[in-house]
Each structure stands twice: as structure tokens, then as C-alpha cells.
Amino acid sequence: MPLLEISGLTQRFGGLQALTDFSCRLEEGELVGLIGPNGAGKTTVFNIVSGFYKPSAGQVVFAGRETNGLKPHRITALGMARTFQNIRLWHDMTVLDNVRLARSAWLGYGLWSAVLRTPGYFRAEKAIEKRARDVLEMMALTHYADEFPKNLPYGLQRRVELARALAGNPRLLLLDEPAAGLNSADADDLIRLIRWLHDEFKLTIWMIEHQMKVVMSLCQRLTVIDFGRVIASGLPQEVRNSPEVIKAYLGDDTL
């Protein structure tokens, strides 16, 4: 059974058809790329999969469960996490709190325990704290635990966002342009990091990326979309030489 199966996804915004009959499947443990020119509808796919938009048609099945109509936090609780194209951290909270809050779906206590400070509360908070510290350690961020993200350099902010996504122990990780705005050396670090995550935790990763270096060195499979339609999919080498793809990126020669 595939981990994620998307079939016939269509999304309209008013008169604009952002996505037409998009289908795709991800097996457990794969590392797949989703590429396409700007405005092709890549982020829309992620937004639908993570539950932020309700698709006009089509369905998404994640871990054997249809997620249409589920709220984003419910989908997250099923084991999905994502990062954002433009970093979306909670800037007035420490890095540690950012990661801690990503455990919200698995808190293990409620309002009354928090206010009455029951033993259950302390137990749960301890577990959350431990998990958050572990993730920071793993991502080499321990040093910045008490910093505010807004004071960190851009590359570190990206890493904090990744750490936050990992805090929930996801089965599927969606990365929306993780290398955007990184210089070449940082991008190399990122490639190593993602590869390590994928190998170490058997994470399934689906990424949108523009930097060809990152895509080509990481992804096992690629899907290419343009104007909301899939125009090619397959192994990176095949996709790269597909005339459709070249046309989409470089324009039509016959013009």
C-alpha cells in the first residue's frame, strides 16, 4: 500500500484552474521531487495534501485514510509534517518553544491539567521537552535553543523550521523549496542533511525545489507540472531530457 496516494486532484480558485487532474503516489521510504516553473501549482498540491485547501475534486489518501475534509491539525496528527516556502516560524518564541509546540497534536494533557498542574502535566511536559531537546541535538541546534528565530541567520531559520517539522515524528515530510535563498555551501549542507534524514529515519520525503543541483542529487523520482497539469514523471535523468519539460522551462522553440 502506498503511503500517499493522490488521484484526480483538481483545484479552482474562482475562475482560475490551478490544478487539473493531478495524480501521484508515494511509496513508504521514497524521496520524490515535484518541480515545475513558477506558478505551476506545486505549492497548491502541498496545501491540499496538508489540508489547508479543500480540493474542488479528487481525493488524497494518506496512510490508508482519506484525508479530504480533515483539518490540517488532524492530518498532522496522522504523521505528516511540512515546511514552508517563505519561512513561517513563531518569531517571538524561543527555538525550543517552536519545536515544543510542534508536539501539540500529541500533548497528552488538557486545559485542566495545565491549570491545576497535575502530575500528568509534569510527566507530559517532561516528555515534550525531552523530545524537543533531542530533535535540536540531532539538528545541531542545541546551542540556539534559547534564541529567538528572528535573530538567527536565514540558513539557521530554515534548519529550525526543519527541526520543528521533525518534532512530530512524521512518516511523510513535505519540503517546500528547502534550498530557496541558500548559498551554494549551505545548499550542500542541506543535501547532506536531507539524505541523512532519509537514510537514518526511513522518512518518506516529498520536496518542491528549484535548485537543480539539490533535486538531481537527492530525488529518486520526479514529477513535473506546468499550468496545473503533470507533464512528465519518472527518473531524474529521463525527466531532464523530456522535450515537454524543456519546453516548459525554456519556452517553445517554434514560436
Partner 1 sequence: MEFFLQQCVNALQWGSFYALIALGYTLVYGVLRLINFAHGDVFMVGAYLAFFIATGFLAPEGAFGFSRELTLWLTIPLTMILTSLVGVTLERVAYRPLMRKGAHRLYVVITALMCGLILENGNLALLGASRRALPELLDKTVYQIGGVAVTNLKLWVIVAAVLVFCALHLIVTRTRMGMAMRAVSWDRFALPLMGIPLERVIVFTFVLGSAIAGLGGLLFAMSYPALDPYMGAMTGWKAFIAAVVGGIGEIRGAFVGGFLLAFVEIMVAAFLPSTFRDLFAFSTLLFILWLRPTGLFGRPLTSKI
Partner 2 sequence: MRRYTINMLLALAAVLLVLMAQTNLMDKYALQIVMLIGINCIFATSLNLVNGYMGEFSCGHAGFMCVGAYVGSLLSVAFFSDSALFGQALFGPEWALALFPLVLIGAMIAAAVAGLLVALPSFRTRDDYLAIITIAANYIVISIIENIDAIGGPRGFSGMKKTVNAMADSVNTLLDGFVGFLGFDFVVSDSDYAMSAAVVMLIWTLIGAFICVQVIRRLMTSTYGKSISAICQNEVAAEIMGINTNRAKIMAFMISSGLGGLAGVLYAHVYGYVNAQSFNLLKSTEGLVMVYLGGMGSLSGVLLAAVAFTLLVELLRFVIPWLNTTLHEVNLLPADYQLDQIWTWVIIPLMLILLMQFRPEGFLGNRELTHVFPGLKRWFTLK
In the region spanning residues 27 to 46, those forming contacts with partner 1, defined by CB under 8 A, are 43
43 binds, among partner 2, partner 1, none (CB under 5 to 8 A by kind): partner 1
Q: What's the grid cell of residue 247?
A: 519546453
69 binding partner 2? (CB under 8 A): no
Site for partner 2 in 136-175 (CB under 8 A): 164-165, 168
Contact 59, 7 (CB under 8 A): yes
What is the closest distance, in whole angstroms, from the C-beta atom of residue 83 to partner 1 in the complex? 11
How are beta strands 65-66 and 57-62 bridged, if at all? antiparallel
CA atoms of 142 and 116, how far apart (whole Å): 31
Please identify, using beta-carbon distances, which residue of 92 and 252 lies nearer to partner 2.
Answer: 92
Residues 18-57 that bind partner 2 (CB under 8 A): 50-52
With cell 533531542, the residue in question is: 134
* Phi, psi values for residue 92, rounded to 5°: -100, 25
CA–CA dist 72, 140 (Å, integer): 28
* Residue whose C-alpha cell is 502535566: 121
Q: C-beta of 212: minimal distance to partner 1 in Å?
A: 24
Residue 168: phi, psi to the nearest 5? -85, 10
1 binds, among partner 2, partner 1, none (CB under 5 to 8 A by kind): none
The answer to whether residue 84 forms part of the interface with partner 2 (CB under 8 A) is: yes
Q: Which of 1, 16, 115, 185 binds partner 2 (CB under 8 A)?
A: 115
Show Cβ contacts of residue 102 under 8 Å, excluding neighbours closer than 6 positions. Answer: 81, 132, 164, 165, 167, 168
Closest among 129, 126, 124 to 109, alpha carbons compared: 124
Q: Is 52 among the residues that bind partner 1 (CB under 8 A)?
A: yes
User: Pairing relation of β-strands 204-208 and 172-176?
Assistant: parallel
CB of 232 to partner 2, least distance (A): 29
Binding flag, residue 95, partner 2 (CB under 8 A):
no
Residues numbered 193-252 forming contacts with partner 2, rule: CB under 8 A? none
Which residues form the interface with partner 1 (CB under 8 A)?
Answer: 43, 47, 52, 84-85, 88
Which residues form the interface with partner 2 (CB under 8 A)?
Answer: 50-52, 71-73, 76-77, 81-82, 84, 88-93, 97, 100-107, 109-111, 114-115, 117, 121, 125, 128, 164-165, 168
